[in-house]
């Protein structure tokens, strides 16, 4: 078994694509129309054949409720590994990304959480 696809719920696929590519530096992999939504994935620029990240529309009311509950509670939907949280934090802030707090040491790692502008908090961690 392998993990080849993960997903993040987004309230606007086009806005999410712009954020995840232009700001976070991911690369668009698939953009296939599927009626009102798209099969829209991004990948790491460093691993174009690696895990795809599906920008999943919150088309169902229960999905929007779940996403909002996590956001309101300050719980990140997912986490991305980075080599240097402090450096990533500074670079993303320079691009206007809003963080909940500066990087913090949590146990054996350093973490920070930011708003992805599409309804989620995303955590980065030094891994």
The ranges assigned to domains in the chain are 5-126
Q: How far apart are CA 48 and CA 39, in angstroms?
A: 17
Q: How confident is the model over 7-64, as pLDDT tens digits?
A: 999 999 999 999 999 999 999 999 999 988 999 999 999 999 999 999 999 989 999 9
- CATH entry, 5-126, from 3.40.50.2000, 3.30.420.40, 3.10.180.10, 1.10.1740.10: 3.10.180.10
In whole angstroms, what is the distance from residue 40 CA to residue 31 CA?
4
Least Cα distance to 88 among 34, 36, 37, 124 occurs for: 124
- The strand pairing partners of 5, in sequence order, are 52
Cα separation, 51 vs 71, whole angstroms = 24
- For residue 80, how far is the Cα from the chain centroid? 8
Residue 44: the pLDDT is 96
Output the pTM of the full model. 0.92
């Amino acid at each position: 078994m392998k993990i080849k696809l993960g997903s993040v719920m987004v309230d606007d696929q086009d806005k999410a694509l712009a954020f995840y590519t232009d700001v976070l530096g991911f690369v668009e992999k698939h953009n296939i129309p599927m009626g009102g939504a798209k099969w829209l994935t991004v990948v790491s620029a460093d691993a174009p054949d690696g895990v795809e990240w599906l920008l999943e529309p919150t088309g169902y009311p229960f999905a929007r409720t779940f996403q909002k509950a996590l956001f309101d509670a300050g719980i990140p939907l997912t986490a991305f590994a980075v080599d240097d949280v402090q450096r990533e934090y500074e670079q993303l802030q320079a691009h206007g990304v809003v963080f909940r707090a500066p990087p913090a040491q949590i146990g054996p790692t350093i973490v920070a959480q930011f708003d992805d502008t599409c309804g989620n908090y995303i955590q980065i961690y030094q891994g």
